[in-house]
């Protein structure tokens, strides 16, 4: 089982739609979780950290379920500019790899 | 802009050649991490440098090596290039080695091995 798994998509949604992505992780000792956004052929940029209590930043809401070992990202009122790949990232704090990235979920918001 | 710069932006090499990629970290950052991102994949951790010493390494062979300089800039060297080394190579700097510290990525070097 891969350390971090995401549905690669693509998710094609109309403007204004609500879309949700899930990500599962295999290491129960994982301690920190993040969502990064990556535009085509550009560098990843931190979108938001994911806290146990859940957190919201404008139209974006992140949730963590430790018992089931998954993380979610909800985007409300999708904009064309939200089109990108969303990378789920897990900090294992063990072994040699500080952060483990998922393959990403591709989102296309259509006018 | 993150303040992390990488050079060159694009590079074409042939199998067996050697390549050096460069990264200038953001001011005030002493930690540099290198990632390889193949097409359709997420970034894979290669190694991290902290105060000129390697501070962790992912599952990459020894022909991937690096350096960090006193000004915290860094180089990634790859010897005996293989076709599968074709990828986007990303450098990220941070204020410390704490994995919770925010990573600031450069725009990457797109390497094509023919």
With an 8 Å Cβ cutoff, are B90 and A42 in contact?
Answer: no
The nearest CA of chain B is from the CA of A20 a distance in Å of: 19
Residue-level pLDDT at B88: 97
What confidence tier does B81 reach under pLDDT thresholds 50, 70, 90? very high
The nearest CA of chain B is from the CA of A107 a distance in Å of: 14
Nearest CA-CA partner of A42 in A4, A87, A10: A87
For residue B67, which phi and psi values (nearest 5 degrees)? -145, 150
Residue-level pLDDT at A2: 79
Residue-level pLDDT at B2: 65
How does pLDDT run across A38-97, given as a tens digit for each residue?
Answer: 999 899 999 999 988 889 999 999 999 999 999 999 999 999 999 999 999 998 765 556
Q: Please name the residue of chain B whose CA is at the shortest distance from the CA of residue A5.
A: B42
The beta-strand segments (E) located in A1-111 are 4-6, 11-14, 19-25, 32-38, 44-50, 55-57, 60-65, 70-75, 84-91, 99-101, 105-110
Neighbouring C-beta atoms of residue B5, cutoff 10 Å: 16
How does pLDDT run across B27-61, given as a tens digit for each residue?
Answer: 889 999 999 999 999 999 999 999 999 998 999 99
For residue B42, which phi and psi values (nearest 5 degrees)? -85, 165
With an 8 Å Cβ cutoff, are A42 and B48 in contact?
Answer: no
Q: Enumerate the residues of chain A whose CB falls inside 8 A of the CB of residue B45.
A: 96-100
Q: Please name the residue of chain A whose CA is at the shortest distance from the CA of residue B37.
A: A103
What token pair was written down for B27?
Answer: 């001011």
Residue pair B36/B89 in contact by the 8 Å Cβ criterion: yes
Query: 């129960």: which residue's tokens?
Result: A28
Residues of B with CB under 8 A from a CB of A: 2, 33, 35, 40-45, 48, 56-58, 88, 90, 97, 99-100, 102-103, 105-108, 110
Residues B99-108: what's their mean pLDDT?
88
Residue pair A62/A14 in contact by the 8 Å Cβ criterion: no
Distances (CA, A) of A58 to A19, A43, A88: 14, 23, 19
Omega prior to A10 cis, within 30 of 0: yes
The nearest CA of chain B is from the CA of A77 a distance in Å of: 26
With an 8 Å Cβ cutoff, are A98 and B107 in contact?
Answer: no
Spatial CB neighbours of B29, under 8 Å, sequence gap ≥ 6:
B72, B93, B94, B95, B104
Residues B88-92: what's their mean pLDDT?
97
Helical ranges in chain A per DSSP H: none
> Distance (Å, rounded) from C-alpha A65 to C-alpha A72?
8
Query: 């920190």: which residue's tokens?
Result: A32
With an 8 Å Cβ cutoff, are B43 and A101 in contact?
Answer: yes
The nearest CA of chain B is from the CA of A42 a distance in Å of: 6
With an 8 Å Cβ cutoff, are A44 and B105 in contact?
Answer: yes
3-class state of residue B85 by DSSP: helix
Residue-level pLDDT at A58: 96
Residue-level pLDDT at A51: 85
Cα angle B14-B16-B20, degrees, rounded to a multiple of 5: 80
């Amino acid at each position: 089982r891969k350390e971090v798994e995401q549905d690669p998509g693509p998710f094609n949604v109309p403007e204004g739609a609500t879309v949700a992505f899930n990500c599962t992780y295999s290491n129960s000792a994982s301690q920190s979780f993040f969502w990064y956004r990556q535009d085509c052929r550009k560098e990843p940029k931190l979108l938001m950290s994911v806290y146990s209590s859940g957190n919201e930043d404008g139209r974006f809401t992140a949730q963590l379920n430790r018992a089931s070992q998954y993380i979610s990202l909800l985007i409300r009122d999708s904009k064309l500019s939200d089109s990108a790949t969303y990378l789920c990232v897990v900090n294992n704090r063990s072994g040699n790899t500080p952060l483990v990235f998922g393959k990403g979920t591709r989102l296309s918001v259509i006018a | 802009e993150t303040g992390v710069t990488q050079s060159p932006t694009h590079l074409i090499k042939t199998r067996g050649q050697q390549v050096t990629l460069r990264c200038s970290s953001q001011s005030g950052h002493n930690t540099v991490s290198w990632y390889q991102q193949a097409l359709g994949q997420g970034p894979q951790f290669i190694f991290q440098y902290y105060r000129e010493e390697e501070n962790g390494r992912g599952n990459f062979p020894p022909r991937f090596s690096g350096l960090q300089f006193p000004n915290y800039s860094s180089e990634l060297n790859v010897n005996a290039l293989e076709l599968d080394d074709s990828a986007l190579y990303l450098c990220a700097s941070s204020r410390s080695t704490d994995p919770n510290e925010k990573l600031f990525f450069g725009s990457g070097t797109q390497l094509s091995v023919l």
